[in-house]
Amino acid sequence: MINWKFDANQFDPDKAFELIPVGDHRVRVESAEEQISKTGRDMIKLTLAVSGYGSKLFHYIVFMDDRPDITNQNLGMFFDSFGIRPGDMNLQNWIGKVGAARVKHEQYEGKANARISFFILRSKQEDLPIWQEKGANAPRSMREESGELVDIPF
């Protein structure tokens, strides 16, 4: 059995889900999984980490057979933003890739929720700060080198 004395005074429920501010942020693909939408369409559910924040964002790429132009535009924006080879549908290749997204707020049950508005093209990301792990003292896990983001081993 774990020997731990929980101190309720050190728990702040307001810190459980930190709201990502509106604006442009670097984001990293934490997971990508195939799912079926509520309307029965194939889709990919993305879980994205946000530079400097502990909260995650979720985004869905829905495959619309009746609107291939929209589906291909959404996939193209995603591939470009994250530096993924266009058309690479091996979701394992997406994990850990860093891109950028515009975050917006939408109301849900009277509360603001952060959502992806769109992914930012790679050529428009140079002014964003480099990747930061959550917390001011956390080590940086990524750095820019020759315009590319690379892992730094710790």
Residue 143's nearest CA partner among 153, 94, 121, 123 is 153
Tokens of 93: 């290749």
Q: Write the CATH number of the domain with boundaries 20-147.
A: 2.40.50
Burial class (CB in 10 A: 0-12, 13-18, 19+), 24: middle
Predicted local confidence at residue 137, as pLDDT: 45
Quick check: helix, strand or coil at residue 152?
A: coil
Q: Enumerate the H helices of 5-127 as residue ranges.
A: 68-82
| Per-domain boundaries in the chain | 20-147
* Residues, the chain: 154
Q: Is the pLDDT of residue 148 over 90?
A: no
Instruction: With 0.85 as the threshold, say if the pTM is over it.
Output: no
pLDDT digits (tens, 9 = 90+) for 108-130: 888 899 999 999 999 999 999 99
Residue-wise pLDDT for 11-69, tens only, equals 776 666 789 999 999 999 999 999 999 999 999 999 999 999 989 999 999 999 999 99
